[in-house]
Amino acid sequence: MDRSSAPELLDIAVEVARNAADTAYRMRAEGVSVTATKSTVTDVVTAADRAVERQISDALRRLRPDDAMLGEEYGAAQPGSDAPARVRWIVDPIDGTVNYLYGLPHSAVSIAAEVDGEVVAGVVRNIHTGEEWTATLGGGAWRDGRRLRCSAETDLGQTLVITGFGYDPARRAHQARVVAELIPHVRDIRRLGAAAIDLCLVAEGRADAYYEKGLAAWDQAAGALVAAEAGLRVGGLGGRAPGPDMVIAAPPAIFAPLHDRLVDLDADGGP
């Protein structure tokens, strides 16, 4: 019998994420250092990123051998069997790695389950605080048993916006120009450093809106479902789906004015 219902997949994601977060927390306490860099010298990898992703993929392989996986550190993994996988797990073992390296309490394990190409379940667990956000498609968004509702803000000028910057200096310069032009038109800007948690914070109204260019699927898959299930409109620019070009999550009344400002400011442009 196919046990790929969203609640069943969420139960697995939560169990695996909790164990993974415990490992990441313990490794942080034991001391972490940079073991490698990726796209640029500031795009770092620690031993914990790799160990935690291996722990997650081993657990998912054991619990769901016929599923595929896409992880930040080890990429795509196909199921043991030849049958095409209906379910794919999208995994960021430590989102907010720079925060994790510096000991800033804003990094998370993020696990999303996709069925036939659609994300139907997701969990984001803060490694340091234990805060845990979950969602299933059509089943709402939750934090620690409380159903989440996003901000009802209707005025862009009163909107507290979270955003982020990439690892490429030229892209950062472009993103900084966008922020400089946008900031007079919003309440204020926050840069916290972990897209998965940032999306969950706007889901529960601890800020009003979020946007960022340059995110990979593993940075946003689970957080975007939490945001959408809390009532936010989540999308890209020009009617596109949320993706590497742009992810915007905003209350319905704010999405269009924020979107249009970002278009005017060429926010998905630059390097």
Using the rule CB under 6 A, is 195 a contact of ligand LIP?
Answer: yes
Partners of 146 in beta bridges: 143
Question: 48 or 121: whose CB is closer to ligand LIP?
Answer: 48
SS3 45: strand
Q: Does 79 bind ligand LIP (CB under 6 A)?
A: no
42 a catalytic residue: no
Which of 53, 67, 92, 153 is the binder for ligand LIP (CB under 6 A)?
A: 92
132 carries an active-site annotation? no
H/E segment holding residue 35: strand 34-37
Give every CB contact of residue 57 below 8 A, 6+ residues apart in sequence: 69, 71, 74, 77, 91
Binding mask 32-71 for ligand LIP (x = CB under 6 A): ----------------------------------------
Query: Which has the closest alpha carbon to 209: 158, 138, 245, 134?
Result: 158
Q: Examine residue 96 and tell whether it contacts ligand LIP (CB under 6 A).
A: yes
CB 89 within 8 A of CB 113: yes
Query: Is there binding between residue 236 and ligand LIP (CB under 6 A)?
Result: no
Clarify whether 23 is annotated catalytic: no
- Which one from 97, 134, 136, 159 is the annotated catalytic residue? 97
As measured in angstroms, the least distance from the Cβ of 102 to ligand LIP is 12
Q: 92, 114, 198, 212: which is the annotated catalytic residue?
A: 92
* 62-66 long-range Cβ contacts below 8 angstroms, 24+ apart: 63/12, 63/16, 64/12, 64/89
- C-beta separation of 189 from 161 below 8 A: yes
Angle ∠(16,150,212) on CA atoms, nearest 5: 70
- Is 95 annotated as catalytic? yes
Number of residue whose CB is nearest ligand LIP: 164
Minimum distance from residue 259 beta carbon to ligand LIP (Å)? 19
Q: Considering the rule CB under 6 A, would residue 210 count as an interface residue with ligand LIP?
A: no
Alpha helices in the chain, H assignment, sequence order? 6-30, 47-63, 97-102, 169-182, 195-203, 217-229, 252-264
Does residue 208 bind ligand LIP (CB under 6 A)? no
Select from 4-12, 24-32, 140-148, 188-196 the region that touches ligand LIP (CB under 6 A): 188-196
- Cα–Cα distance between 93 and 105 in angstroms, integer? 15
Least distance between ligand LIP and beta carbon 96 (Å): 5
Strand extents, DSSP E, 116-187:
118-126, 132-136, 140-143, 146-147, 160-163
Which residue is it, tokens 């310069």? 173
Shortest spacing between CB 106 and ligand LIP, in angstroms: 10
Which region, judged by CB under 6 A, interacts with ligand LIP, from 6-14, 28-36, 91-99, 125-133?
A: 91-99
Chain residues that interact with ligand LIP, rule: CB under 6 A: 72, 92, 95-97, 164-167, 193-195, 212, 219
Q: Which are the catalytic amino acids?
A: 72, 92, 94-95, 97, 219
